[in-house]
Homo-oligomer: A and B are copies of this chain.
């Protein structure tokens, strides 16, 4: 980013650009969503975009950081006070699915980033995976879950969450409104206990 907004009015306009970019990219796809379209939908001047962002790729990077930050915060707040790694995992999985349901547009934009901003996409999962593996390792040391490679386990759980979000939220959002959480709880127990 070029700079962060300094005034309240600046912040409001910046927020409008972010909101409009999420909606415009989710609707048209990253390649087709022009800066002109984004600023028009935001109701701000074309030039204002370039006060905050170097270009559209720079905006995409900012949106991935937003995804990373807000999703982690949501999960972090949701598992607050829960004891035991297996219980934390079950609640965390629910929180992730809730978050993707509420932020489906941002989830779609993350998928775009894999193609248009691969280093940022990789940064997102590397960062998540490294944090995740650290928590899993701690739980293994405490004997709360089965001892295995924490890195592999982290990617197994992230891959599962990611594919089930595609399957039940992106692809099938009409036919199945109830996410099969009981099945997931059972899977988490199988993977972590035994």
Contact = CB atoms under 8 A, between A and B. Distances in A.
B155 A167 contact: yes
Contacts of A31: 31
Contact of A162 (B163, B184, B194): B163
A45 interface: no
Contact of A191 (B161, B166, B190): B190
Interface string A7-51: 000000000000000000000011100000000000000000000
A149 B13 CA distance: 47
A92 to B, nearest CB: 16
Interface string A103-122: 00000000110111000001
A146 B111 contact: no
Nearest to A31: B31
A122 B155 CA distance: 22
B164 A152 contact: yes
Contacts of A161: 159
A2 interface: no
Nearest to A122: B171
A88 interface: no
Contact of A149 (B129, B153, B162, B183): B183
Contact of A29 (B115, B180, B184): B115
Contact of A111 (B114, B162, B167): B114
Nearest to A157: B160
A186 interface: yes
A111 B155 CA distance: 17
Interface of A: 29-31, 111-112, 114-116, 122, 125-126, 129, 146, 148-149, 152-153, 155-156, 158-164, 166-167, 171, 180, 183-184, 186-187, 190-191, 193-194
10 closest residue pairs by CB, A with B: A159-B163, A159-B159, A194-B194, A156-B160, A149-B183, A152-B183, A159-B160, A155-B163, A190-B194, A115-B115
